[in-house]
């Protein structure tokens, strides 16, 4: 049993982009370890330190605090070139994150053929079947993880003498498969893959370790661990709006496979959500506003993706989806972000149910086609005009804003 009652997980209750990085940054002073346990470079956490903006994709947001040990767990798929680039970018700004980073030897590497497969697959899909992937190779890498024989882990990079030769064999097989399926091999080159692996071995070998043992020791020693989720529960491979999802377990239940500690050690599960809804890429979005209201929310909230720069789709808060994701994840608290974005709206909508095929639903159906046809049942609340920028307590919020929160 854990002797520490302070372990906390911060995760998204929506489709990502809920402000997890900001919450992690605020909480970091109370933690010695910050752990990424899922996803890959498809995540984008934006953190401001004073006026300095940091956009992180693989490194936990907590790495910006110099007392924090940053950990990339076994459930993360790591693009080594992007990770090295992130570390170098921080070093140029005076942050030596590499000394405080540990990478699980069980984590898998995202290599060029994964990204090429992502691009070829999405490019070949019919418009209605496009997943809206970030093309960062995440799904193909997780697929290789499940295939087993075509996967390369950091343990292989550190200890397997013939890993470069094995990578060459994988590349040749993948080129042939691409040619057969898509009519071209995407420019895949075995020498490029070998060079990436050599660079990764040279630059990251000192960071590779058994992070499961590291975290179990930290737990026994009474050190506080903050688990940092990527993406959001509505993008979860099992519980999200399948197939328009990511390829990992995005909620606190992903901590076991993704970090090696049982999720029962986590006392506080903080789900992040926006005061409205957003989504990037394809997939059903019941409350989406495809009009001037949606444009206004996007502009006021600066809703453009950290990872891709794509404009986010915007809509009213979806209480149906949020109730579901909070229940699935066992959220013990919610950090509601971007309430200030809604200042100045005469009225603000909340979706309280779905209506589809003559039925009223209080929970999201598993079928994406049903969700696509669903219409939101919207309850409108009076808005407020006050600027919330200087508000630091619940009591100082305008009455209508407090009523909206309730």
Strands (E), 167-306: 208-209, 225-228, 268-274, 277-279
Structure tokens given for 25:
């940054």
Which of 275, 401, 266 lies closest to 335, judged by CA? 275
Q: Which residues contact 375 (CB under 8 A, 6 or more apart)?
A: 286, 354, 355, 356
Q: With contact defined as beta carbons under 8 Å apart, do 62 and 70 qualify?
A: yes
Given the residues 7, 17, 65, 318, the one annotated as active site = 17
CA-wise closest residue to 96 among 57, 58, 68: 68
| Whole-number Å distance between alpha carbons of 175 and 196 | 17
Residue 358 C-beta-side C-alpha neighbours within 13 Å: 0
Q: Are 61 and 21 in contact (CB under 8 A)?
A: yes
Question: Residues 7, 25, 45, 79: which is the catalytic one?
Answer: 45
Q: Could you write out the DSSP letters of every residue in 172-206?
A: HHHHHHHHHHHSS-TT--HHHHHHHHHHHHHHHGG
41 touches 140 (CB < 8 A): no
Specify the pairing of strand 347-356 against strand 359-361: antiparallel
Catalytic site residue 45? yes
User: Residues with catalytic annotation?
Assistant: 17, 45
């Amino acid at each position: 049993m854990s002797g520490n009652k302070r372990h906390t997980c911060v995760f998204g209750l929506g489709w990502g982009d809920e402000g997890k990085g900001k919450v992690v940054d605020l909480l970091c002073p109370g933690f010695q370890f910050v752990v990424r346990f899922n996803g890959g470079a498809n995540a984008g956490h934006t953190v401001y330190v004073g006026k300095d903006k940091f956009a992180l994709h693989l490194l936990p947001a907590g790495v910006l605090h110099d007392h924090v040990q940053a950990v990339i767990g076994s459930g993360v798929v790591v693009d080594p070139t992007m990770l090295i680039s992130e570390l170098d970018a921080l070093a140029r700004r005076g942050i030596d994150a590499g000394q405080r980073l540990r990478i699980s030897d069980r984590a898998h590497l995202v290599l060029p053929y994964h990204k090429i497969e992502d691009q070829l697959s999405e490019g070949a899909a019919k418009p209605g079947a496009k997943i809206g992937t970030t093309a960062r190779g995440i799904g193909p890498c997780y697929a290789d993880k499940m295939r087993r024989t075509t996967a390369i882990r950091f343990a292989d990079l550190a200890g397997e003498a013939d890993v470069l030769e094995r990578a060459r064999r994988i590349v040749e097989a993948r080129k042939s498969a691409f040619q057969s399926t898509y009519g071209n091999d995407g420019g895949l080159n075995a020498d490029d893959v070998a060079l990436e692996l050599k660079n990764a071995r040279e630059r990251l070998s000192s960071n590779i370790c058994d992070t499961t043992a590291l975290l179990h020791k930290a737990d026994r020693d009474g050190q506080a661990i903050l688990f940092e989720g990527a993406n959001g529960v509505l993008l979860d491979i099992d519980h999200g709006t399948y197939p328009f999802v990511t390829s990992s377990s995005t909620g606190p239940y992903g901590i076991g496979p993704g970090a090696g500690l049982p999720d029962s050690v986590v006392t506080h599960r903080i789900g992040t959500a926006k005061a409205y809804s957003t989504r990037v890429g394809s997939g059903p979005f019941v409350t989406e506003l495809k009009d001037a209201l949606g444009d206004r929310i996007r502009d006021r909230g600066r809703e453009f993706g950290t990872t891709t720069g794509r404009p986010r789709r915007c809509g009213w808060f979806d209480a149906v989806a949020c109730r579901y994701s909070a229940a699935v994840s066992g959220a013990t608290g919610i950090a509601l972000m971007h309430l200030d974005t809604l200042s100045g709206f005469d009225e603000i909508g909340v979706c309280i149910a779905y209506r589809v095929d003559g039925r009223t639903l209080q929970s999201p159906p598993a079928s994406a086609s049903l969700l696509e046809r669903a219409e939101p049942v919207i309850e409108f609340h009076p808005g407020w005009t006050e600027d919330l920028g200087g508000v630091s307590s619940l009591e100082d919020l305008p009455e209508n804003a407090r009523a909206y929160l309730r």
